Amino acid sequence: MVFVFLLVLLFDVVGCLDNGVALTPPMGWMQWERFRCNIDCKNDPENCISEKLVMDIADRMERDGYQDVGYTYISLDDCWMSEERDSDGSLQPDKDRFPHGIKYLADYVHSKGLKLGIYLDMGLKTCKGYPGSKFYIQRDVQSLQEWGVDMLKVDCCSGGSDLIKGYEVMGFFLNQTGRPIVFSCSYPACIGNQFSDYMGVAKLCNSWRNAIDITDSWDRVYQVMQFYVLNTHNFARYSGPGHWNDPDELIVGDYSLSDGEERSQFGMWAMFAAPLFMSVDLRNIKPSSRNLLLNKRVIAINQDPLGIQAQIMWQHAWTDQGMVSGWARPLVKKGSYAIAILNGSSYGMPAPINATLQDFGLTNQDGYNITDAFDGLSLGPHKLTQPILLKLPAHDTFLGTVVPL
Ligand code: GLA
């Protein structure tokens, strides 16, 4: 106990995670939203959490172009473990579903130039009841190092009052590995609305969940966006190279979203400088969703090296069915911005948009060229006060890059 306390003190002095990774938001695939805790390989061998699923996804990421546009990490979530630690206290994967072990899986993923992510929990148990890392932090980080893991999501179900200290100890041991492991922390989301120490989490973690869990529903996606509208404790300010707010996985290509809603989630996640983790069956994804996920113009906005998260610039009602909002984020290219207009209203008739670049806080007197990031088409040069004329259907988003003339 004294030892751990000293380590925490030492980490406080050393300061922060020092791994040089996630200088732009990490991109990849994550198991949870789409595949959940499906451990029934007997009846559902294609979809259960297993080495086969990870290897299938790795093959798709390589073959179908995802890796080429930046998706790199393949991350297991809850339910990969055996229910018991082994005799020396180490975590072990479920032997039937991961017969060759995690190192084998990491080697396979690495052979394609991809990286492997894994999930732990800071409490006594994971959210689904598998062994937690409390009292085993050093041992578990050692396992990750031995296996060659590249990203770690640490959850916080059943975490106690010393939750954040546990993450600090974890950060200390991750630093000790010398291995660049992306450290994704869930404790802001577990603590909920009263969480305010964004400065602290940005020092300790490469990304952190702060909003509610995503599900396969537009309502939930929009609820997360509303959290970003509120921007409680000005959390947007703490996003930047090496440390990102994480609004949870992308559900593009799953069952529930319309084309416009998919554009909205992907486009707004790009504006939020969010980690882009697809949670979708890449073996069966429809072409339109795949093309969206591969859209290089949108990804370039997300991956802009300045790493400044978008802020809401204006918002007004469109009928009594909801709000239309305008967002902007500066881009690295001098004087350039990305702008988004999100129609959160459910009114059937498309919302007539006539916002001006001035409404987005832009100031270049000569005006700007606007390009639609989804289809690459130019909207032409616009003076500062010239309306951007659009008709935006319910739940759809306009996303544009804006370059000074
Ligand atoms: C929590 C997390 C999710 C997922 C599950 C796993 O709900 O927020 O992202 O990791 O646990 O059980």
pTM for the whole structure: 0.96
CATH number at residue 237: 3.20.20.70
Please say if 12 is a catalytic residue: no
How far apart, in whole angstroms, are the C-alpha atoms of residue 357 and residue 52? 49
170 closest CA partner among 148, 142, 146, 192:
142
Statement: residue 6 has pLDDT above 60: no
pLDDT at 161 (0 to 100) = 84
Residues 212 and 360 both lie in one domain? no
Residues 26 and 89 both lie in one domain? yes
Please say if 40 is a catalytic residue: no
Residues 209 and 326 both lie in one domain? no
Residues 375 and 338 both lie in one domain? yes
pLDDT tens by residue, 393-404: 999 999 999 999
Which residue's CA is the closest to the ligand 1 atom numbered 6?
78
- Name the pLDDT band for 14 (thresholds 50, 70, 90): very low
Of 260, 282, 302, the residue at which a domain comes to its end is 302
Residues 45 and 181 both lie in one domain? yes
pLDDT at 363 (0 to 100) = 98
Check pocket membership of 311 for ligand 1, CB cut-off 6 A. Answer: no
Task: Spell out the residues 6+ positions from residue 221 whose beta carbon is closer than 8 angstroms to its own.
Answer: 214, 251, 257, 261, 264, 265
Of 255, 283, 302, the residue at which a domain comes to its end is 302
Residues 297 and 315 both lie in one domain? no
pLDDT tens by residue, 330-355: 999 999 999 999 999 999 999 999 99
Residues 44 and 122 both lie in one domain? yes
Express as a percent the part of the chain with pLDDT over 70: 96
Statement: residue 289 has pLDDT above 70: yes
Average pLDDT, the chain: 96
Name the active-site residue from 150, 155, 254, 396.
155
Name the active-site residue from 64, 162, 197, 213.
213
pLDDT tens by residue, 205-221: 999 999 999 999 999 99
CATH number at residue 345: 2.60.40.1180
Residues 191 and 65 both lie in one domain? yes
pLDDT at 13 (0 to 100) = 42
Q: Which of 29, 30, 31, 32 to mutate to test the pocket of ligand 1 (most atoms within 8 A of CB)?
A: 32
Residues 292 and 366 both lie in one domain? no
Residues 390 and 257 both lie in one domain? no
Number of domains in the chain: 2
Of 270, 302, 334, the residue at which a domain comes to its end is 302
Check pocket membership of 158 for ligand 1, CB cut-off 6 A. Answer: no
Residues 366 and 297 both lie in one domain? no
How far apart, in whole angstroms, are the C-alpha atoms of residue 56 and residue 282? 9
80 closest CA partner among 8, 31, 133:
31
pLDDT tens by residue, 108-126: 999 999 999 999 999 999 9
Residues 221 and 242 both lie in one domain? yes
- Give CA separation, 197 vs 57, 192, 201, 235, in Å: 36, 12, 7, 9
C-alpha 121 to ligand 1 mean position (Å): 9
Mean pLDDT of 141-148: 98
Which residue's CA is the closest to the ligand 1 atom numbered 3?
213
Check pocket membership of 155 for ligand 1, CB cut-off 6 A. Answer: yes
Question: Could you tell me the residue range of the domain that residue 398 belongs to?
Answer: 311-404
